[in-house]
Every structure is written in structure tokens, then in C-alpha cells.
Amino acid sequence: MRLDVSLPLILFLVTVAVIFLYGRYEKKIKSLFEGRELRTRDVVLLVIAMSGMVTVLAVTHFWLGTAIMFFYLYVYSVVLILFTYLVVPKWYVGVLVAALFNELYFLYRDTPIWDPYLVNLFAIIFVIYISVYLGGLFTWKTTTVFVVLLTAMDIVQVLVTGFMVESSEKLLALRFPVAVILPTFPSEGRILLGLGDIFLFGLLGIQLTQKYGRKSGLTSTALATGVFLLLETILLNYYPKAFPATVLIIGGWLIAVGARYLDVRRLRRV
């Protein structure tokens, strides 16, 4: 029987970090965006844009790899600068952090130092930054819409078109930190989870924490992680192919939200 606890553990730890960091910088983030929130239309357009990007990457010839490389380096650099400035309000510190990332990428991307160590480190840093930074733009309603549409898009692009797998392989071939790649433990092997899936898990953690409090958010995160571990184990043993991870994530969070709802009803009766 194949079993892996490394990926669920990283997923849990990253989400806990996102919840605590968002709680610390929530006021600064809301002030930065002047209280703006994403509307349903914005979320629909966001998912369409994500699906379009996946399709373009999948059907694009690899000779455009240089253009893709500089585009992603630009996006990563901007995110690093913005979040660093949020923590340390000195513009040059953010520029130095972004410059360090670019320098390490070009110097070590073809060495064992980059993969698996630095690529996982920067992947985790990036997804924490983007989750904390964008978490305040979502409401419970827009999060629900985003979850439903993203899951539907993921199912189609993984199981129907296969574009999600093709685009991920191209980005990974360029050594971009677009996924967390870990050795399975205690079983032997490797497993990966895209940053979009980790972002989704962190976003749900933020929303549940805002709705019910930090203690409930952390408890729900632990429960959702346990369900993810169970579903991942089933897939590792009975369906060892590419599968939309959003389904596993949503399954865990639906159970966590359901458990919270039943607990609230029980307390009200008492």
C-alpha cells in the first residue's frame, strides 16, 4: 500500500502560515486596496483568464520558452517586491529580494541545488505571499464562485483536454517554481502539487478563519488536511495518474465546513 504524508503536511503548514500572516497584515492589505473586493464578474473573468493561460501554454511551441521565462520572472519579481514592501516599507528591500531570486534562478536552475531545494523554497514563499496578498480581495460569496468555477476548469483541463498537464510540464522544464515537488513518505516516489491548488487551500483557510475565528479556521484546516490525506492515499493506490487536485481540496473543505455548520447548530440548540 502506497502512503504519503509529506504533501498533506506541507499543505497544512503553508495554510497555517497563510492564516497567521494574513491576520497580522490584514489591515495593511485592506488599506492598500482601499477596501476594494472582487465581484462575481471579476472572479469569472479571473478563472477564464487562468484557463486561457493554461491553454496557450499547452499549445504554444517550446521555442517561445524564452518569452514565457521572462514573463514568469517578471510576475514573480513583482509579487516579491509588493509583499516585501508590505512587511518592510522600503522599496529597495523588495528590489533586492527580487534580484536575489532572479540571480539564484539563472545561476542554479540547472543544478541539484535548485531542484529540489530552492525551487520548493521559492514555490512555498511565492504561494504564501500571493495567498496573503489576495486573500482580502475575496468574500465568502466570491470565494464560493471561485471554488466552483476553478474546480470545473481544473477537471476539464486535466481529464478532458489534458492541457493542465502539458502546460505544467513545460513550466517545470524551464525550472520555474510553479509546484511543490516532494518525495513521498513513507513510500518511495515523488509527488507534486501546483501552486494554484495550494493557493485555493490557503484562501479557504482565510475565509473560514474570518467567518468563524482563528481557532475554528485552524481546526477546519486540520480536518480538511486529513480528508486530503485520505483521498490522496486512495488515488496513489487505485488511480496513479494525473488527477485534478482541486477535487481533493474541495472534498476536504466541504467536510470541514459541514462539520463546522453542525457544530454551530448544536451550540445553538444548547
Beta strands in 116-267 (DSSP E): 179-183, 190-194
Percentage of the residues of the chain whose pLDDT score is greater than 90: 63
CB 129 within 8 A of CB 185: no
Dump pLDDT digits (tens) for 88-127: 888 899 999 999 999 999 999 999 999 889 999 999 999 9
Average pLDDT across the chain, whole number: 90
Select from 264, 260, 190, 268 the least CA-distant residue to 222: 260
Rg (CA), the chain: 19
| Cα–Cα distance, 235 to 233 (Å, whole number) | 5
C-alpha cell recorded at residue 3: 502512503
Confidence of residue 62 (pLDDT cuts 50, 70, 90): low
Q: What is the reported pLDDT for 57? A: 86
Three-class DSSP category at 149: helix
Select from 247, 251, 217 the least CA-distant residue to 12: 217
Percentage of the residues of the chain whose pLDDT score is greater than 70: 96
| Cα–Cα distance, 166 to 210 (Å, whole number) | 36
- Among 48-62, 87-101, 148-162, 193-207, whose mean pLDDT is lowest? 48-62
Whether 249 shows a pLDDT value over 80: the answer reads yes
H or E element in which residue 34 lies: none
31-34-35-38 Cα dihedral, nearest 10 degrees? -120
| Helices 65-87/163-173 angle, 10° precision | 80
Q: What is the reported pLDDT for 72? A: 87
Whether 4 shows a pLDDT value over 90: the answer reads yes
CB 247 within 8 A of CB 34: no
Dump pLDDT digits (tens) for 139-176: 999 999 999 999 999 999 999 999 999 888 888 888 88
Confidence of residue 46 (pLDDT cuts 50, 70, 90): very high
The burial class, CB within 10 Å (0-12 / 13-18 / 19+), for 156 is middle
b vs e for 73-105, b when ≥16 Cβ sit within 10 Å of the residue's Cβ?
beebbebbbebbbbbeeeeeebeebbeebeebb
**Mean pLDDT, residues 48-76 taken together:** 83
Give 6 or 28, the one with higher predicted confidence. 6
